[in-house]
Structure 1
């Protein structure tokens, strides 16, 4: 039916693949004022899932038509079409617009990337997210972190990450891994720390981080980040993590949902500080971590970080 309705230069608009393939996705906002002409890059629709909201923009100017009447779709399903002849007038006295965008570079997806995406999607299907806001500033963090008079300066994310390693052992299900068909808890924290390499990322692991003093942790963290930036990490430096920290502190992003690392029950996300306040989020696997446990962990982390700062 769709092919018969679609003209020669019809462009099909599909629900973004940012959602689990078996989940129902709500079309929460239809950006167009009904069927009719739509400009290139105009908002066509907004889709909302459990953890994400995604806008769909018109890839070309043309006549927009919605497909179907339901507001519920699935990932990859066609929800609208744009009839876009090679050149379309935008109205009396206005210039013609070319509806065909020149192709850019093609970026192939590696087999590793496909396997990783599949594993992440499956592992995050039971994920939930809780958040807490912390009050402190860079100078206070620096003073608290450097109370041992060592020759180093911790950043805010490193300061929070170290406190994660000190608190996590008291929350067994948060510091745990999925092995075969069961969860295994650990007394020791092996901290994974997401390192952004521009067009990719790595998650080196600080083994035994919970048993390190803050200056030891600083040195281990900086060395791993440096090795990652130089592409000098070896595979074993990215294995055996029990919990992960993802850091967008320097990006200006005020809030985000971190993704669970495959096999782990929790990932901490550190957002940007705005006016002396920042948000720390906890993504956790609801099959093993209760919502109350997640809340208690975040409150303990906030109290520990703010208390250390207030005491200096």
Structure 2
């Protein structure tokens, strides 16, 4: 008995995948639920496991090939199966060649009648080919009347094409039909191809992963489609940092190890501002604008294959602790390549934090079909004026990139101002101010 391993259902709108690498080779023993092959889709990598224990059969698809959902990848031969199942089946003996009649042999000595005539056969008898009754003329050879007209009109036989006369010869009617055709524009010469690039010996050429190609395509589509504009503000992180310091241990103890970070503060501040300015949470659908009365918050996290944006569904219904636990889980699964496809779709607004890599300021690109994305950055001590005095405060630049087709400048700037107020005084979030 053998069990087939096929390409599983990969999620909504995903119909194919690429064989990233085979984790097991033909003939190797595999156990139940052991990963056999890694597939790469437009969004994440997926490992396909063995449905039962046994010996792995041959690979039906090579690494790097694209496969459809449901395609056969390999089989697992049940443990203890006979060796005949593992070895190739014996090939059937070739059919005997048809008998060829032997040439007539001379009669044995003493037998009268001389050489025996060959026996008649029921098959067709080959006859000598008859010579053609007519000499084959070359294709496009014009008839005399057609040749005369072509000479007068300076027309070449090759431009008229194959004629309608016998053996494809061009007739006078073919020439007249050719002359009545509308003039065809001259074909433009094909653009010269760029010379092939010669790699330097010190360079390394690596094929783009499917995920990287998808990220590149989606970001470029966003730039080509949306009217992207970015507005900036700065946030004094003093109050948020003090709250975190004062309640970090109590928060972690109360919520079973969940660590209090800045992301939950920014998520809650964004949710508060999105409720006040719903256009920032909307999207364009054809000639309509779709406004959402909920928030599915995308949180950009870095993985080994690139940036992915898992989604906190109904984030507006979550508290600080649940937000922190969910974000920590996303980060771990992204590093392990274990994010599920349904965790990466359906976001209505996104946050990306370049500050963890040291970015001081940037202009994030939209995550289609969303209409806005918030960029967080590095916290740096800077001198600022407070009540007429120059003081040193931990400051962060924040950036909101938005689709100007949906969001007006006033709404975008007001959104950032409301975010700034909430982060600089987190008590506003508790009081829903």
Query: How high is the TM-score relative to the length of structure 2?
Result: 0.45
Unaligned runs of 5+ in 1: 1-99
Supply the distance in 1 between the matched residues of 2:352 and 2:247 (Cα, whole angstroms).
Answer: 20
Contact 1:143/1:309 (8 A) holds in 2 = no
What corresponds to 1:249 in structure 2? 355
Contact 2:261/2:324 (8 A) holds in 1 = no
Contact 1:254/1:272 (8 A) holds in 2 = yes
The structure with the larger Rg is: 2
Supply the distance in 2 between the matched residues of 1:202 and 1:265 (Cα, whole angstroms).
Answer: 18
- Does residue 214 (structure 1) correspond to residue 316 (structure 2)? The answer is no
How far does residue 199 in structure 1 lie from its aligned partner after superposition? 4.5
How far does residue 147 in structure 1 lie from its aligned partner after superposition? 10
How far does residue 112 in structure 1 lie from its aligned partner after superposition? 5.6
SS at 2:347 equivalent: coil
What corresponds to 1:295 in structure 2? 413
SS at 1:277 equivalent: strand
Contact 2:265/2:426 (8 A) holds in 1 = no
Deviations 1:52-88 (A, max 9, x none): xxxxxxxxxxxxxxxxxxxxxxxxxxxxxxxxxxxxx
The alignment yields a C-alpha RMSD, in angstroms, of 2.7
Supply the distance in 2 between the matched residues of 1:110 and 1:201 (Cα, whole angstroms).
Answer: 13
SS at 1:279 equivalent: strand
- Give the one of 241, 256, 278 matched to 1:139: 241
How far does residue 177 in structure 1 lie from its aligned partner after superposition? 2.5
Supply the distance in 1 between the matched residues of 2:279 and 2:330 (Cα, whole angstroms).
Answer: 26
Contact 1:140/1:310 (8 A) holds in 2 = no
- Does residue 265 (structure 1) correspond to residue 371 (structure 2)? The answer is yes
How far does residue 229 in structure 1 lie from its aligned partner after superposition? 1.8
- Does residue 237 (structure 1) correspond to residue 343 (structure 2)? The answer is yes
- Give the one of 380, 400, 411 matched to 1:274: 380
SS at 1:272 equivalent: coil
- Does residue 286 (structure 1) correspond to residue 404 (structure 2)? The answer is yes
Report the CA distance shift for 1:146/1:211 in structure 2 as closer, same or farther (over 3 A).
farther
Contact 1:192/1:243 (8 A) holds in 2 = yes
SS at 2:207 equivalent: coil
Deviations 1:95-138 (A, max 9, x none): xxxxx953322122356644542332232341000011000146
Instruction: Give 1 or 2: higher strand fraction.
Output: 1
Query: How high is the TM-score relative to the length of structure 1?
Result: 0.62
How far does residue 233 in structure 1 lie from its aligned partner after superposition? 1.0
Length, aligned pairs only: 213
How far does residue 211 in structure 1 lie from its aligned partner after superposition? 1.3
- Does residue 169 (structure 1) correspond to residue 275 (structure 2)? The answer is yes
- Give the one of 222, 231, 234 matched to 1:130: 231
Unaligned runs of 5+ in 2: 1-198, 382-393
- Give the one of 117, 133, 138 matched to 2:216: 117
What corresponds to 1:306 in structure 2? 424
How far does residue 240 in structure 1 lie from its aligned partner after superposition? 0.5
Supply the distance in 2 between the matched residues of 1:147 and 1:291 (Cα, whole angstroms).
Answer: 41
SS at 1:128 equivalent: strand
Supply the distance in 2 between the matched residues of 1:163 and 1:311 (Cα, whole angstroms).
Answer: 7
